[in-house]
Amino acid sequence: MVLTMYIAAEDGPETDERVLGIAIEESLLAAELGYNPWFTEHHFRGSWHSNPLQFAAYIAPQIPPDRYLGFGVLSTPYYHPVRLVEQMNLLDQLMRGRTLFGLGSGFAGTEPAGMGVPADYHGSGQAARDTLDVMERLWDFRTGDPEYHFDLPTHEGTIRRRVVPAPYRKRHPTIIRTARPDAAVIAAAQHGWPAFLGTNFGGESPLVDQVRIYRKALAESNHSQDIIDECLRWCTCDWLSVVVAPTDAEAQANAARAKEEHLSIRRRFVEQHGAFEGPVTQRKAGQSQADAYAAGGDMHGIIAGSPDTVAARVQQMADLGINHLLVRFLGEWTGETRAISETSMRLFAREVIPRFRDIPPLRDPLALTLSTAS
């Protein structure tokens, strides 16, 4: 995840060029080290997050040809469905299918109002579901089909010709669906979509239970083997806060430094601009989502250790059949703890990734017998 910790505490236009340059630098380093760069979408916060598709199109020709570009996540309610399908398909064509589109609702707070989406419609998740329903119809529509009209609270349109271009080689680009409630996990499997799984993303059930729920629904959905393969390859566990150092003690000390710098930036933002909503976080009883984020609720599960220690945690994921990790390395690329993040990136790439490179994804969703332990 590139610059996903960035918060514009110093919110002046004079900072935009510097932050954009750092985001480009981090993206290219990640790709050079063997990662698939992933980009976030936020609005009114950060100089490059507001248009990750355009940013990715700039990065694409500068990275090795076997890398993927990912989005975690595109906020579907903020787009006209036709425009989003066009943009996704075009990037998928230009990348020859090496795109991973995380799709979801996006942040709350100031974003829905600024993008013209009613707060209740957005916050319930219905706006994202409705938009994705229309997008599915658009991917299936062929010139000559009966006219298709859609009318959402946010957008409408009448379709008489297929959306062009088509995706690169399949019905739609690779979609990884946010799926916090268990019902959403089941729905993702029934649609044949990979999903974000695990407690770090705010699911109702622990990771092992969500894996079981998802795989059972996938096995019962009678999908073709290529759809099952796609799901088992790209179902994603989101590791929000990772630090790697030569020793466990050094990693834990670095994690404390990086977390404190980031929390100080959040506190400064709140002092200057007021509370804001962050991603799904762990909250105390009675604590608002905004207060939980300002206090670092999304960093409650920090993974900090030597390469051996972190590799042991990755092995736990491999033992569950999790084939894809979305990793956010703690450390402020725009601040004083950049070296902590960059060192983690390099150590993870050099000493952790090679241990798992030759493990093939599962092909049978019921191949592993999962215990009830998380």
- Whether residue 240 is contained in a domain is answered as no
- Whether residue 299 is contained in a domain is answered as no
CA distance 347 to 329: 11
Residue-level pLDDT at 366: 93
- Whether residue 122 is contained in a domain is answered as yes
Neighbour-count burial for 56-66, b at 16+ CB within 10 Å, e otherwise: bbebbeebeee
Q: What is the mean pLDDT of residues 229-243?
A: 94
Residue-level pLDDT at 282: 59
Q: What is the mean pLDDT of residues 335-339?
A: 94
Residue 179 vs residue 225, higher pLDDT = 225
- Report which listed range, 65-79, 267-281, 293-307, 357-371, is most confident: 65-79
- Whether residue 193 is contained in a domain is answered as no
Give the lowest-confidence range in 39-43, 44-48, 130-134, 239-243.
44-48
pLDDT reading at 202 higher than 70:
no
Report the chain's C-alpha Rg in angstroms. 20
Residue-level pLDDT at 204: 66
pLDDT reading at 125 higher than 60:
yes
Q: Which two tokens stand for residue 223?
A: 């999908």
Residue-level pLDDT at 274: 73
CA distance 21 to 25: 6
- Whether residue 294 is contained in a domain is answered as no
Total domains present in the chain? 1
78: pLDDT confidence band, cut at 50, 70 and 90?
very high
Q: Which residue, among 309, 284, 310, 306, has the nearest Cα to 295 in the 3D structure?
A: 284
CA distances from residue 59 to 2, 18, 53, 231 in whole angstroms, order as listed: 12, 16, 10, 26
7: pLDDT confidence band, cut at 50, 70 and 90?
confident
Q: What is the mean pLDDT of residues 65-94?
A: 97
CA–centroid distance for 205 within its chain: 19
- Whether residue 13 is contained in a domain is answered as yes
Residue-level pLDDT at 206: 86
Domain of residue 171 covers 1-178
Q: What is the mean pLDDT of residues 183-207?
A: 83
pLDDT reading at 342 higher than 60:
yes
Compute φ and ψ for 298, nearest 5 degrees: -80, -5
Residue-level pLDDT at 44: 83
pLDDT reading at 83 higher than 90:
yes
pLDDT (tens digit per residue) in 107-123: 877 899 999 999 999 99
Residue-level pLDDT at 285: 66
CA distance 138 to 131: 11
Q: What is the mean pLDDT of residues 12-26?
A: 91
Q: What is the mean pLDDT of residues 282-309?
A: 77
- Whether residue 280 is contained in a domain is answered as no
**DSSP conformation class of 234:** H
Single-letter residue type at 69: L
Find tokens 């959306």 and name the residue: 163
372: pLDDT confidence band, cut at 50, 70 and 90?
very low
Residue-level pLDDT at 273: 72
| CB proximity list for 235: less than 8 A, separation 6 or greater | 176, 194, 195, 196, 197, 214, 322, 323, 324
- Whether residue 312 is contained in a domain is answered as no
pLDDT reading at 373 higher than 70:
no
Average predicted confidence (pLDDT) for the chain = 90
Domain CATH for 145? 3.20.20.30
CA distance 365 to 157: 38
Residue-level pLDDT at 281: 55
69: pLDDT confidence band, cut at 50, 70 and 90?
very high
